[in-house]
Amino acid sequence: MLRYLIPIVYICEYLLSDMSISNVYQLFKTLEKDSILLSFKGLVTAELLSSILHIMESKLTHLQEDSKLKKKVFNVLVECLQNLYHHIDVHEDDIKEDIELLDKKSAVFMIARFGGSFYVRTGNYVENKDATKLMRRLDKINSLDKEELRLYYQEILGNGGRSGKGTAGLGMIDIARKSGNKLEYEFVQVTEDIKFFCLNVKID
Amino acid sequence: MENLLIEGSAKTPTVNFNSEAGVIELKGRSIPENSVEFYQPLNEWIELYAKSPKLETVVEIKLEYFNTSSSKCILDLFKKLESMNNSSTQVKVNWYFEEDDEDMEEAGEDYQAIIGLPFNMIEVDEI
């Protein structure tokens, strides 16, 4: 249970230190205005990932929506969350001891639904050199049409090696294929060496 | 040899590998974070089975969905099956997908494009 509390404690500390208490209402209104079904900021651990998927699966079941679309949304959710999870490449317990590292490895995740579309948004820190690689990959993916994406996926699946974490570099291609839209992204320079990677996936 | 039976979970498929029947079945969903770990015993079982397989081996894939981490492991599994095909057993793949589920249908076709095994695409109401 404790690991779910850490991010909450973290947010509360932030609210108490930098925001007046009425801003909780502001935060609530913002989440409502943006039609957020679920949002989270903190460390994406294996346990947290399971709970989010569990919550989202039951939320999706109750939504009056095409089952094909719901399946695509769940699929994209899994890939996005697992990307965030694999992003923590140090041991969970080591991070909890180190507040600075905890902040660095924290991510933000939200899922929204409006106008008949779903939006999965994620954000996490990346080093400059990884950002460059990621940007190249995303641009390549965005330059391909449906059929080309399919061939690219087959190419990477068939020939591509596996990264140490078993993600095989297929995640983003799969997200693009399932979403049927271009992957919207932005890198915000945070420090000289670090960027914040924002991804917005529209599924309809 | 012993059969391999693994009960499905929220993140892993039901595994039913039966050496007497020559049937290899995966059913449900496959979305574990570390799929390599999950698929290792499955690969080991197939290696052992390859030593004295049935004349015909039927691979039944009845997946609702799988993550990209699993897709590589499933490919490895198919590669093992491909290498035993024709020499000691005839391997056939039955790939099931739910009605109108183009994503799972395409996923089957992706493997079909990479792997030299006969694929039979089967549309069903519900997996």
Instruction: Assign 3-class secondary structure to B34-61.
Output: CHHHHHHHHHHHHHHHCCCCCCEEEEEE
pLDDT of residue A25: 87
Q: According to the model, what pLDDT value does residue A2 have?
A: 37
What CATH code is carried by the domain that includes residue A52? 3.30.565.10
Using a CB–CB cutoff of 8 Å, tell me whether B71 touches chain A: yes
Q: Which residues of A touch B (CB under 8 A)?
A: 46, 49-50, 53-54, 68, 71-72, 74-75, 78-79, 82, 85-86, 150, 153-154, 157-158, 162, 166-168, 170-171, 173-174, 177-178
Terminal C-alpha separation, chain B: 29
Strand-pair partners of A186: A198
State whether residue B14 sits within 8 Å of chain A by CB.
no
> What's the pLDDT at A116?
87
Length of chain B: 127
Q: What is the pLDDT of residue A90?
A: 61
Query: What pLDDT score does A8 carry?
Result: 44
User: Each residue of A122-173: pLDDT tens digit?
Assistant: 999 999 999 999 999 999 999 999 999 999 999 999 886 554 444 547 999 9
Residues 6+ apart with CB under 8 A from B82: B91, B115, B116, B117
Q: What ranges in chain A are assigned the alpha helix state H?
A: 2-18, 23-33, 46-62, 67-87, 92-96, 99-105, 128-142, 146-159, 171-179
Q: Which of A1-10, A154-163, B69-78, B100-109 has the lowest mean pLDDT?
A: A1-10
Question: Which pLDDT tens digit goes with each residue over A77-114?
Answer: 999 999 999 877 666 666 666 667 777 788 999 999 98
Place of tokens 């989202």: A56
User: Looking at residue B86, what is its pLDDT?
Assistant: 80
Give phi and psi for A25, each to the nearest 5: -65, -40
pLDDT of residue A64: 85
pLDDT for residue A27: 86
Q: Is the dihedral of CA A86, A173, A141, A153 positive or negative?
A: positive
Q: What local confidence, expressed as pLDDT, does residue A16 receive?
A: 53
- The first and second tokens of residue A51, run together, are 């709970």
What ipTM was reported for this prediction? 0.92
* Cβ pairs A/B, distance under 8 A: 66
User: In the structure encoding, which two tokens stand for residue B43, read together?
Assistant: 């690969």
With a cut of 50, say whether residue A7 has pLDDT above it. Answer: no
Per residue in A10-56, pLDDT (tens digit) is: 444 455 555 677 788 888 888 888 899 999 999 888 899 999 999 99
Distance separating alpha carbons of residues B29 and B6, to the nearest angstrom: 13
Q: What is the mean pLDDT of residues B81-93?
A: 91
pLDDT of residue B46 exceeding 50: yes
Average pLDDT value for residue range B20-47 = 95
Confidence category of residue A3, pLDDT binned at 50, 70, 90 = very low
Residue with tokens 């041991």: A91
Least confident of B40-44, B69-73, B84-88: B84-88
Share of chain B above pLDDT 70, in %: 100
Q: Which residues, at least 6 apart from A187, have a Cβ–Cβ distance to it below 8 Å?
A: A126, A131, A135, A195, A196, A197, A198
pLDDT at residue A117 in the model = 93
pLDDT above 90 (res B63): yes
pLDDT higher at A19 or A63 = A63
- Residue A17: domain span: 2-203
CA distances from A161 to A164, A173, B40, B69, B74 (A): 10, 15, 17, 12, 14
Q: How many domains does chain A have?
A: 1
Neighbours of A1 (CB within 10 A): 5
Which of B33, B73, B114 is the closest to A82 by Cβ?
Answer: B33
Tokens found for residue A10:
């973290």
Average pLDDT over residues B36-63: 95
Instruction: Sketch out chain B's domains with CATH numbers.
Output: 4-124 (3.30.750.24)
- Which residues lie across from B94 on neighbouring strands? B60, B120
Write the CB contacts of A6 (distance below 8 Å, at least 6 apart in sequence).
A42, A43, A96, A102
